[in-house]
Structure 1
Amino acid sequence: MTWLVLAGAILAEVAATLSLRASEGLKKKRWIAPVAAGYLGAFGLLTVALAQGMPVGIAYGVWAACGVALTALGARVFFKDALTRRMAAGLGLIAAGVLLIELGAAAH
């Protein structure tokens, strides 16, 4: 259950960040509510995951890494941002790092 809560935190943060981009620096006012709700939801769910006993190093590491990767992919899909081979390799390294964190946590 804790991993599902963390996944929700990650998705909320990604949605908030992509909404922030869509707001064009908060100039498009209709995006302010999704930005605020997304970030509040992300930190709220991260708090719940920590309260359920997930170690902070694992929770924050996975949250941040997955957030970076999913935001980059979302920006490519929704805003046509660049996603070069080098950037894709970086995303692969992020995925490998998250996997190593999870494997390390399981072994502990």
Structure 2
Amino acid sequence: MSKPMSLGPRLKNVRLSIGKTQSDVSRDTGFSREMISYWETGTRFPSVSQIGVLADYYGVDLGMLVDPDAPEIKVAFRNRDMTDHDREVIYWARKVLSGYWAMNSLVPERKP
């Protein structure tokens, strides 16, 4: 049985699988390129909210990045043939749906 991949290499593998450089991720997310490098090498660790931003950006489930038992980067490979526009549309759709579900959870259930 192989040793599970830690967060840093997972972040790097997902980024590479969608053809992005650290500079691309930095430009698109607002995180510094240096910080992304620290995260990928395990020198520093991102917060949960930062991991969430990266998961959204990469188009993967947050659990896949933080769970060492998750299948290694299989979801990201589906993104390989997508255009930047496709990723942007999916990103915004996920944001809208996430907001919808968050708001929906605040509304009490109506009983007939």
Q: Give yes or no for TM over 0.5.
A: no
TM-score (norm 1): 0.29
Pair member with larger Rg: 2
TM-score (norm 2): 0.28
If each structure's helix is expressed as a fraction of its own residues, which one has the higher value? 1
